[in-house]
Structure 1
Amino acid sequence: MSNDVYVLGVHTTAFGRRPDASIKDLTREAYLGALADAGLETGRDIEAAWFGNCLMYYWGQALTRGNIAFIPLVREGLFPDRAPIVNVEGACATGSLAIAGAAKEIRAGDADVTLAIGLEKLFDQKDPRAIFPHFAGGMDLLDPQEWEAEYSAIGEKIGVPFRPGEDRTIAMDTYAMQANYHMATYGTTAEQIAVGAAKNHCNGALNEKAQYRFEMTPEEVLADRPISAPLTRAMCAPMGDGAAAAILCSERFLKTQPAAVRDRAIRIAGLGLAGGKYRGLDEPSLTRAAADKAYAQAGIGPRDIDLAEVHDATSFCEIYQCEMMRFCEEGEGGAFVGSGATKIGGELPVNTSGGLVSKGHPIGATGVSMCYELATQLRGEAGARQVEGATYALQENGGGIIGMEEALAAVSIYERIR
């Protein structure tokens, strides 16, 4: 019997500022939505859950986050009362790590049905900026002088001083420096970054789950409020609340399900993880290493990918990750995105959901929400943003910062079995 893993059911809440929805409310909405999508009345078949979250401690709950969030669901018999809930945290890659843990449990033969769920509440109605300092936890706070020196040296090299600001998260300043280095090295332009941002805002306008649902032109993106040069507000992911869940199963379990359920199942063809480091500036990032692992596991290459969701915490990231995923050559990401190649109907649609800059970025939920978008696309259920005839879809999700790259990254490849 194969140890293949399938996405049986998946769901995401709408992302945005949801002050009236509690952590337990969001958990319930995502979980019950995934159950319904999988054709399951209850979660009695689920043998383990992997719960992704980073900042629940801000709201007063640490250590046993998922276990507490599921108390009502266990009490009501909707989730098995002795199934373990494993808490997962990995900065912005948290959701993909939950999927990886749930998938590996099935691959190992330890379970036939598992749950991956990610959740975050980032909007504090009383003080929206109070959560800003907590994002620095994704960087080295034990020896901060190391990354401060790294970015200062790069800024001096390219003539763009590294000057963090209190009106934004430190992550935006590090992304800005990465963008500035790429621009100085390869000639990438702010206009090319704006093309990608505008494209994603237009995609998000078609996505009922997106935090921002309005179209933008590249000119409007460039004219928006500056955040950290060259990045404007429209090029940066907003903060919001949301949750997403995916029910995974083995091939053995899938064969016991009705044909209507089997026909919508999506195979996880490849899944690669990689760790970050202080890399050389001319060295490919950890996401390249994760992608190569995923391609090898799936037995395919970049040219086989029909669409992708990549981690555009800023719109520069889409340019860079297209290079790291081998969709184009290194240094050519700006021209690739700027040409319209990543639009729906283009050579390789990227971030059909609207990406993080439009769909939103509730940290722990992001990776699972990418799975939702790609499963929806591969099933042919994406409506106005549908990519026709897609067989393979790729998801790239990175978290934390070490030098000029993330601390951890995951790349998943999904396949529609026809």
Structure 2
Amino acid sequence: MTQPVSIVGAGLSKFGRQPGVTGREMAVTAINNALADAGLSWPDVQVAFGGSDGSGLADTLVAELGFTGIPFTNVKNGCATGGSALFSAVNAVRAGAADIALAVGFDKHPRGAFNARPEEWGLPEGYGDAGLMVTTQFFGAKISRYMRLYDISADTLARVAEKAYRNGSLNPNAWRQEPMSAEAIATADMVNDPLTRYMFCSPGEGAAAIVVASPEALERIDRTPIHLRAISHRTRRFGSFEVFSPAIQGSGEPTSVSADAARAAFEQAGLAPSDVDVAQLQDTESGAEIMHMAECGFCEPGEQEEMIARGDTEIGGWIPINTDGGCIANGEPIGASGLRQVHEIVTQLRGEAGDRQVRGTPQVGFTHVYGAPGISACTVLTV
């Protein structure tokens, strides 16, 4: 039986444009906030994992945090960087290598699209010359196919983004804190059909950190824990349709790395999607949230249209999704997104989300992150 692991601390920096503040400084802020949340200090941490896509090496943060000599491993895994760092921290505790471990993710991206280079992804140079390294094209192509197959309307794309901005307006750490109407979103400039500019998240700035502990450590930590019932991490299988790999191989419906990771997490937790009270799903753009609802098991493909129209995914709905505004309202600092999701679920399960707190007393939360070129990490958290 695996060693139980609990989350005892969660911290964020502010998200959004922060002139004069480096990604490293945001990371230190998030770590200090997570440690303060747990009632711990940096010397209490026995092992750490962290990463950034382009804002520096996480292990060098010891220059600001303190030279305690602990193992600190750098993680770089696209949008799943934060989730992968947490996966590593959890496994260190499970293995008995540490009683207290920390995961951190951070980034500070410039304005504009991500500038991925084909050679870094094992692709020929011509792939970039053809414009296939532009992520917006992939997302437009994937959701267009999905909408045709399952009768999803463009109005539903706009409603998803409208919810994100509304939830972001209730989140003091969010970048986008102004609500926006579905009509304004739907009629904005088209980026890649059918996705308009306000249906996308933007490369952003921010950091998040999580502290996990063993049962033995809990005895000396004065903080009510959130139990990490499961954490999974998967890479793509043959036949998938992914960022920087937009081709369907084989026959039939493409495989889904998100479905694989979610299924593994629920099996590990001994729970089902129907048990979840609040969820965070990767929403790089509106279509991603829609597809991930089905891929993670919260509905069948095509049911999203009616669910979203009914308000099922709103804060007051039966399955609130992205209560903090998700990537659309917070932006996407690549290294931080997965841990921001976990921070939000911890906040919701503690009943500390303020104006965006879901109804009742949520007992089970779920997070899902997806990244190029087909990686996914999921968690199941319980009180």
Tell me if TM exceeds 0.5.
yes
Percentage of pairs with the same residue? 31
Give the Cα separation in 2 of the matches to 1:358 and 1:141. Answer: 32
SS at match of 2:227: strand
1:289 is the counterpart of 2:260 = yes
1:319 is the counterpart of 2:290 = yes
The change in CA–CA distance for 1:133 and 1:395 in structure 2 (over 3 A counts) is: closer
Give the Cα separation in 1 of the matches to 2:154 and 2:309. Answer: 10
Give the Cα separation in 2 of the matches to 1:27 and 1:359. Answer: 16
Using the TM superposition, give the Cα deviation of residue 188 of structure 1 relative to its aligned residue in structure 2, in angstroms: 0.9
Match of 1:230 among 194, 213, 217: 194
Using the TM superposition, give the Cα deviation of residue 105 of structure 1 relative to its aligned residue in structure 2, in angstroms: 0.6
The change in CA–CA distance for 1:346 and 1:133 in structure 2 (over 3 A counts) is: closer
Using the TM superposition, give the Cα deviation of residue 22 of structure 1 relative to its aligned residue in structure 2, in angstroms: 1.7
Using the TM superposition, give the Cα deviation of residue 395 of structure 1 relative to its aligned residue in structure 2, in angstroms: 0.2
Give the Cα separation in 1 of the matches to 2:127 and 2:266. Answer: 33
Give the Cα separation in 2 of the matches to 1:145 and 1:305. Answer: 44
What is the CA RMSD across the aligned residues, in angstroms?
2.1
Where in structure 2 are the equivalents of 1:399-410 lying within 5 Å?
399-401=371-373, 407-410=374-377
The answer for the alignment partner of 2:78 in structure 1 is: 91
The 8 Å contact of residues 108 and 206 in structure 2, kept in 1 or not, is answered as yes
1:383 is the counterpart of 2:383 = no
Q: Does 319-328 or 329-338 show the bigger shift?
A: 329-338
The answer for the alignment partner of 1:28 in structure 2 is: 28
Using the TM superposition, give the Cα deviation of residue 134 of structure 1 relative to its aligned residue in structure 2, in angstroms: 2.7
1:110 is the counterpart of 2:97 = yes
Give the Cα separation in 1 of the matches to 2:203 and 2:119. Answer: 16
Using the TM superposition, give the Cα deviation of residue 342 of structure 1 relative to its aligned residue in structure 2, in angstroms: 0.4
1:19 is the counterpart of 2:11 = no
Deviations 1:349-402 (CA, angstroms, capped at 9, x unpaired): 00001010012211100011111100000000000000131000000001113x
The 8 Å contact of residues 277 and 320 in structure 2, kept in 1 or not, is answered as yes
Match of 1:66 among 58, 74, 87: 58
The 8 Å contact of residues 310 and 397 in structure 1, kept in 2 or not, is answered as yes
Runs of 4+ in structure 1 deviating by more than 3 angstroms, as ranges, are 135-141, 143-148
The 8 Å contact of residues 312 and 319 in structure 2, kept in 1 or not, is answered as yes
Where in structure 2 are the equivalents of 1:99-248 lying within 5 Å?
99-123=86-110, 128-129=111-112, 132=113, 134-136=115-117, 140-143=121-124, 164=131, 170-248=134-212
Using the TM superposition, give the Cα deviation of residue 164 of structure 1 relative to its aligned residue in structure 2, in angstroms: 4.5
The 8 Å contact of residues 240 and 360 in structure 1, kept in 2 or not, is answered as yes
Deviations 1:190-246 (CA, angstroms, capped at 9, x unpaired): 101111110111000000010100112211110122211111111100122111111
Give the Cα separation in 2 of the matches to 1:112 and 1:92. Answer: 27
The 8 Å contact of residues 192 and 335 in structure 1, kept in 2 or not, is answered as no
The answer for the alignment partner of 2:380 in structure 1 is: 413
Give the Cα separation in 2 of the matches to 1:67 and 1:370. Answer: 22
The 8 Å contact of residues 234 and 261 in structure 2, kept in 1 or not, is answered as yes
Using the TM superposition, give the Cα deviation of residue 270 of structure 1 relative to its aligned residue in structure 2, in angstroms: 1.0
The answer for the alignment partner of 2:278 in structure 1 is: 307
SS at match of 2:382: strand
The answer for the alignment partner of 1:159 in structure 2 is: none
The 8 Å contact of residues 118 and 128 in structure 2, kept in 1 or not, is answered as no
1:353 is the counterpart of 2:336 = no
Give the Cα separation in 2 of the matches to 1:134 and 1:70. Answer: 29
Give the Cα separation in 2 of the matches to 1:139 and 1:340. Answer: 41
User: Where in structure 1 are there 5+ consecutive unaligned residues?
Assistant: 76-80, 149-162, 402-406
Give the Cα separation in 2 of the matches to 1:20 and 1:137. Answer: 31
The answer for the alignment partner of 2:245 in structure 1 is: none
The 8 Å contact of residues 24 and 70 in structure 1, kept in 2 or not, is answered as no
SS at match of 1:248: strand
User: For residue 32 of structure 2, what is the amino acid of its counterpart?
Assistant: L
The answer for the alignment partner of 1:404 in structure 2 is: none
TM-score of the two chains, using structure 2 as the length reference? 0.92
The change in CA–CA distance for 1:199 and 1:243 in structure 2 (over 3 A counts) is: same
**How many matched pairs?**
371
Using the TM superposition, give the Cα deviation of residue 415 of structure 1 relative to its aligned residue in structure 2, in angstroms: 0.5
Using the TM superposition, give the Cα deviation of residue 73 of structure 1 relative to its aligned residue in structure 2, in angstroms: 1.5
The 8 Å contact of residues 115 and 246 in structure 1, kept in 2 or not, is answered as yes
1:392 is the counterpart of 2:379 = no
Give the Cα separation in 1 of the matches to 2:152 and 2:255. Answer: 17
Deviations 1:247-273 (CA, angstroms, capped at 9, x unpaired): 110111012223xx1x2x111111122
Give the Cα separation in 2 of the matches to 1:305 and 1:293. Answer: 15
Deviations 1:310-366 (CA, angstroms, capped at 9, x unpaired): 000001111000001111112323332233210011120000010100122111000
Using the TM superposition, give the Cα deviation of residue 184 of structure 1 relative to its aligned residue in structure 2, in angstroms: 1.5
User: For residue 273 of structure 1, what is the amino acid of its counterpart?
Assistant: H
The answer for the alignment partner of 1:55 in structure 2 is: 54
Give the Cα separation in 2 of the matches to 1:116 and 1:203. Answer: 26
Give the Cα separation in 2 of the matches to 1:20 and 1:70. Answer: 21
